[in-house]
Chains A and B, each alone.
Chain A
Amino acid sequence: MGNRLGTRTLTFSRGPRITSRYTLVGPREGKGPYALDFHEILADDSLGQKTAEKTERLMLELAIAKTLEQHDTSIDELHFLIAGDLLNQITTSCLAASTHAVPFIGIYGACSTFAEALGLGAVLLQGDFAEQVLIGTASHYQTAERQFRYPIELNVQHIRTNQVTVTGAAAAILSFADRGPRITHATFGTVVDMGLKDPHDMGSAMAPAAFRTIKEHLADTGRTLADYDIVLTGDLGRQGSKMLRLLLEREGFEGLERLQDGGSQIFGDWQPVGAGGSGAACVAVMTLGYILNALESAKAKRVLIVATGALLSALTVLQGESIPCIAHAIALEQ
């Protein structure tokens, strides 16, 4: 088991890298503080499509096409496509994948999907099962709202713990090419269910999952939070980030100033988005945009991505089930 470290962490000695990437976001995300970190900001969130589901698919296809363009590779040279999204039966990814003749691994991890894809891609490369892996994910405010919540135009007053699904898509190619940050470790999380049931406060539900994965990752690697320049949690939002800090403080963790959160930061304080952003695209565009820019410009040397996901469905909420949550951690190095 030479590729394992401690109880849960995987190490990638062969040095798989994120060698090309593309992020695109909707107009609301494009008005946020990280607008300059994204490759493309859509002028409208429909892209001229008749339904938001079609738009979401097109966004993912665009992100994939642009990533391939940047990598100067053809689709035939790819060994796998790993993709997932929020919609039932991950239809966005399946439809987007149907346009490419690449072996497709469809995954679901709610908002943690991106980190799951990143980790699995690195595993395939490390295991010599692939030389180039394409990963991608997308989410759209309207499709998620329809599936998990209410009709778009319904008179709903959002409360302060609510998060807004990010409209965006991201894709990347993982390979051994000599550029881009290295993926050094992956810690796949366990499902944590603290019995919380409020679908309007998923941040609080997900915080214990992030806490457990961070704790296990640090224990396995013998590192502290301070060993990372940035620890980017995905989509905990303002409320979830607050809960994660409380949990870490209670157990005496230090270096909390390194914590950042994709959901809290993707939108500005001036934007009416409750506790922040969420959605499969949120941590994906923040990682492939903001974090990778920081690594490339040497503003950060080592970063830990902790993408969280609330594994609920519209039915389980109505049936009174609690919200099972997960978090996957991926360590990136310059």
Chain B
Amino acid sequence: MQPEEYQQLVQENLPPRPIVKNMLWAFFVGGLICTIGQVVLTIAQNFERTKDEAAAVTLAAMILLGTILTALGVYDEIAEKAGAGVAVPITGFANTVTSAAMDFRREGFLLGMGSKMFVIAGPVIVYGILSGFVVALIKSLVLGLF
């Protein structure tokens, strides 16, 4: 059998992806995380002077939550069901950093944890900054022209 023919056969016989189920899980678990964030924000606004400061407190609280759930070994279990629902919020970002830090701790603090901590989160930061720059550039060009 030719490779192309076999690749076609594999494509025809892959198990179906449970897209609807995955989407529902992601929607509700992701929504739950956002609701928790909103509750924290509402509370924080009571004792922080500006909305920005309250938002900073909220982000820190959600990062702490993601980190604790990762350290307890729970976050990846939830992700198995909720997929993007837990990968997209900032708790997911905290999970990428914490999980890498936990893994590479065994190779030492400096060359292990220190250098490999951002092995998953690194691309998010790099391309996050890059896309932010590009969007800002487009915005200033468009606003500058008109």
Residues of A within 8 A of B (CB): 50-51, 53, 146, 150-161, 193-196, 201, 204, 208, 239, 242-243, 246-247, 250, 272
**Residue among B3, B10, B87 with most chain A CB within 10 A:** B10
Tell me, rounded to whole Å, the shortest Cβ–Cβ distance linking B89 to chain A: 10
Q: List 25 A-B contacts (CB under 8 A).
A: A146-B103, A150-B120, A151-B100, A151-B103, A151-B119, A152-B102, A153-B76, A153-B102, A154-B79, A155-B75, A155-B78, A155-B79, A155-B99, A156-B80, A157-B80, A157-B81, A157-B83, A195-B7, A204-B10, A204-B14, A208-B1, A208-B6, A243-B9, A243-B10, A246-B13
Is A155 a contact partner of B87 (Cβ separation < 8 A)? Answer: yes
Is B22 a contact partner of A151 (Cβ separation < 8 A)? Answer: no
Is A195 a contact partner of B14 (Cβ separation < 8 A)? Answer: no
Q: Does B114 contact A (CB under 8 A)?
A: no
Is B14 a contact partner of A239 (Cβ separation < 8 A)? Answer: yes
Binary CB contact string for chain B from 78 to 110 against chain A (1 if under 8 A, 0 otherwise): 111111101100001001101110111010000
Q: Does B70 contact A (CB under 8 A)?
A: yes
B100: nearest residue on chain A (CB-CB)?
A: A151
Is A153 a contact partner of B95 (Cβ separation < 8 A)? Answer: yes
Question: A50 to chain B: which residues have CB within 8 Å?
Answer: 106
Is B76 a contact partner of A152 (Cβ separation < 8 A)? Answer: yes
Instruction: Give Cα distance in the complex from A155 to B3, angstroms.
Output: 34
Q: How many chain B residues touch A (Cβ–Cβ < 8 Å)?
A: 38
Is A51 a contact partner of B106 (Cβ separation < 8 A)? Answer: yes
Instruction: Give Cα distance in the complex from A161 to B78, angstroms.
Output: 19
Instruction: Give Cα distance in the complex from A193 to B1, angstroms.
Output: 12
Question: A242 to chain B: which residues have CB within 8 Å?
Answer: 13
Question: A51 to chain B: which residues have CB within 8 Å?
Answer: 106
Question: A204 to chain B: which residues have CB within 8 Å?
Answer: 10, 13-14
Is B14 a contact partner of A161 (Cβ separation < 8 A)? Answer: yes
Is B14 a contact partner of A201 (Cβ separation < 8 A)? Answer: yes
Task: Please provide the chain B residues from 43 to 100 with a CB less than 8 Å away from any CB of chain A in the complex.
Answer: 70-71, 73, 75-76, 78-84, 86-87, 92, 95-96, 98-100
Question: A243 to chain B: which residues have CB within 8 Å?
Answer: 9-10, 13
Is A194 a contact partner of B92 (Cβ separation < 8 A)? Answer: no
Is A156 a contact partner of B79 (Cβ separation < 8 A)? Answer: yes
Tell me, rounded to whole Å, the shortest Cβ–Cβ distance linking A77 to chain B: 37
Instruction: Give Cα distance in the complex from A157 to B88, angstroms.
Output: 13
Is A194 a contact partner of B99 (Cβ separation < 8 A)? Answer: no
Instruction: Give Cα distance in the complex from A151 to B86, angstroms.
Output: 16
Instruction: Give Cα distance in the complex from A50 to B84, angstroms.
Output: 32
Ranked 7 nearest A-B pairs via Cβ: A155-B79, A153-B99, A151-B103, A151-B99, A157-B83, A195-B3, A154-B99
Is A157 a contact partner of B79 (Cβ separation < 8 A)? Answer: yes
